Structure 1
């Protein structure tokens, strides 16, 4: 091998300029924001039914708490519309700064919110409004975070580079559950319900400041710079997505349904099922989620990279089909009330989620042309959340009650979501990195002529 060939191969392996910095920024930002979101997810199952939605019927209190949880998902399309439009018109960077601040402030205020015994009905009302603000912020965050890392990265390796933002949820979930597990282990139940849970919410202020420092130092992505240099930004990106990209929007939205619902099962509903039906402790459940999230930290980028080598839609679809088969096995595994089997079961479940969630960002963004990516991706992400993750805890709880504590209806629900996601894969298109390469080459040619 000649030295020229060696140099060429070394250059090919070297990340594009700014790619690693953008990867870390995307990962860090979404980790911090999903820390905020994950705290609420756990608290909605374990804490809020008791202190914000007190009821003589514990089941009713749980449904009310999960309804407030759903508000955050229902608010996401608002964020997707508002921030998706701005992201395609003015750029990715400053939109991401604003979404981080919005989610962080809302979360800190939840930590300081008096409970029902102190201010009565105003407590759940304000909680829902703050949850609304969280949801709007997350709705605008995801599309930009994905584009931040993928548009700095190699278009031929979009599966890996786009996975940065996907690592955020398990990383945030890991931090949130870790903090809550420490608090639950070191405090009495009374102290945890009284003030201990608030510590995790208030601590997000430090995380938000850290994330802001990183994001404010970022540059705009090379792809958006190339679009802006030629004045190709859309005038009405939301309208253009609906009128010119209907199939892409449907495909991208359906792709999210199964992984969304599966994640809600293993990070929210399992806490209810394991404690109430199996008699396990809160600490047992949080430990299982912590361990499962730890595996996701490397499985998600691995799955993304795998789909750069093998067909993305096939890998995604196989994981969805495997999920439908696995859920009945999971409930049979934990029927013996073994903590070890619960941990193993959650790890496998979140691993299947990783093999859909890892390539999900690449799949969704590549359904849309570059000039409509922020709006299209944000709309698909948020609209799918309404029919997926938003209602999943409510549906799980209702099916659990209808089956008198049984799991077979829940397994049927997961099967339905897997079929929906496989249909989304069938409607989607394969990667087309040539578009980004043409944009970047055109911009390079323009700079060289100048």
Structure 2
């Protein structure tokens, strides 16, 4: 029935129907991805606070924290594999089909994570099962993130791609808010013993219901116009040649013809990826372990910072539609560099208000760039290799710097007797590299998303 309604509406007013589908696409991409990121963000929070004790208790406190954060990185390490597999299939089968698969896999793995036994119950099998499910999560998210981005951007009109991209940029901070708000509420309602016993499991189990909602929303979205045009082109070629034409290997196309673009975009996103995980994962550990701040206060600060990140993502996408992707990214990159240099000195002051301000500014300007990333990556690759190229660049950056950043930060803090300046040097260097990659890139605003470049 809904198909008939959409078809008749499209015939009567094609522009209105296209705008309606574009809004539905960005809603499905945003909601679905935010729900998936909720599970991923939830893991990051408990990995820094609860999991060291429950799954790695045989180690000393620092080694236990490092092992727990390493399990967090394992999920990010699996993302490039998910990006390659889902990217190839997404460039062959379509964006919509892959999005339905990845959100389903993510939901099942998160639900099972909520049922895991602890180290005290099954010994070494507990961390093995934890890491295994984490890898499945990362694999699914590796394909999901880019698929959702392309679903929304390829449906959008050229003049509105940036703001749609910014809407996608709110997924991660929105999920961080939901994850921290959930844990904040549970920690307030339950005793410390009950929270460690079963309280942390509740959001993992409940997230499965939310993922079902994401599947329902995505079922209402059609395939993107860019992919449909590519499919029709292949069918026409097949008719002319009297046989079915098999499309080129998307991975081979990226590696042969677009490897410089993929490498440049990967190195660019190494900066924002590292800074994001430094703030949302390591900072909670630093505030509670090194500065003696209560966990609930740390959760509250992260929630406020992620509200600023939502504003930053929307502002980045909007500004990129006005002044271009490149110039907007340069603004965001410069501001994150300034925040990086003053971040830890302000945290060490112990002022709640100043801590809230610097965390909000730092994460806000970091997500300012992430709000532009979806549209910039999409406009940098041709349709037949867009999913693969974008996914490789995005997941590759998270593998190289995003996942390892909390582990590197803990190790550097330990090696330099609690001084954070080595962390500042590493993050500042990555930020400078990111700035240089933006400078050497071309402006993509106005690029056609249909056909080859």
Q: TM-score, normalised by structure 1?
A: 0.92
- Shift in CA distance, 434/271, structure 1 to aligned 2, threshold 3 Å: closer
CA distance in 1, matches of 2:247, 2:79: 22
Partner residue of 1:57? 60
Partner residue of 1:341? 354
Partner residue of 1:97? 100
Find out whether 1:183 has 2:180 as its counterpart: no
Asked if the contact 2:265/2:437 (under 8 Å) is kept, the reply is yes
- Shift in CA distance, 300/345, structure 1 to aligned 2, threshold 3 Å: same
CA distance in 2, matches of 1:334, 1:298: 22
Give 1:263 shift. Answer: 0.8
The partner residue of 2:366 within 348, 353, 357 is: 353
Q: TM-score, normalised by structure 2?
A: 0.91
Asked if the contact 2:21/2:221 (under 8 Å) is kept, the reply is no
Partner residue of 2:160? 157
CA distance in 2, matches of 1:164, 1:318: 19
Partner residue of 1:271? 284
The partner residue of 2:272 within 259, 263, 270 is: 259
Please give the secondary structure, in 2, of the residue aligned with 1:235.
coil
CA distance in 1, matches of 2:340, 2:269: 18
- Shift in CA distance, 438/103, structure 1 to aligned 2, threshold 3 Å: closer
Give 1:56 shift. Answer: 4.5
Asked if the contact 2:84/2:391 (under 8 Å) is kept, the reply is yes
Asked if the contact 1:158/1:308 (under 8 Å) is kept, the reply is yes
Please give the secondary structure, in 2, of the residue aligned with 1:151.
helix
CA distance in 2, matches of 1:158, 1:331: 36
Partner residue of 1:239? 252
CA distance in 2, matches of 1:348, 1:173: 16
- Shift in CA distance, 67/170, structure 1 to aligned 2, threshold 3 Å: same
CA distance in 2, matches of 1:323, 1:163: 17
Partner residue of 2:317? 304
Find out whether 1:209 has 2:212 as its counterpart: yes
Find out whether 1:230 has 2:233 as its counterpart: yes
Give 1:432 shift. Answer: 5.2
Q: 1:275-290, aligned counterparts within 5 Å?
A: 275-290=288-303
Give 1:419 shift. Answer: 1.6
Please give the secondary structure, in 1, of the residue aligned with 2:234.
coil
Please give the secondary structure, in 2, of the residue aligned with 1:367.
coil
Partner residue of 2:221? 218
The partner residue of 1:378 within 377, 386, 391 is: 391
Asked if the contact 1:256/1:388 (under 8 Å) is kept, the reply is no
Give 1:235 shift. Answer: 2.5
The partner residue of 1:106 within 99, 104, 109 is: 109
Partner residue of 2:5? none
Q: Deviations over 1:75-114 (max 9, x none)?
A: 0011011100011111011100110011111111111000
Asked if the contact 1:23/1:161 (under 8 Å) is kept, the reply is yes
Partner residue of 1:5? none
Partner residue of 1:387? 400
More off after superposition, 352-361 vs 82-91 = 352-361
Q: Deviations over 1:233-282 (max 9, x none)?
A: 83210111011101110121112111111111111011111111111011
The partner residue of 1:146 within 144, 149, 172 is: 149
CA distance in 1, matches of 2:398, 2:344: 25
Asked if the contact 1:89/1:235 (under 8 Å) is kept, the reply is no
CA distance in 1, matches of 2:60, 2:109: 29
Q: Which runs of 5+ in 1 are unaligned?
A: 1-10, 440-450
Q: What is the aligned length?
A: 429
Asked if the contact 1:18/1:152 (under 8 Å) is kept, the reply is yes
Q: Which runs of 5+ in 2 are unaligned?
A: 1-13, 236-245
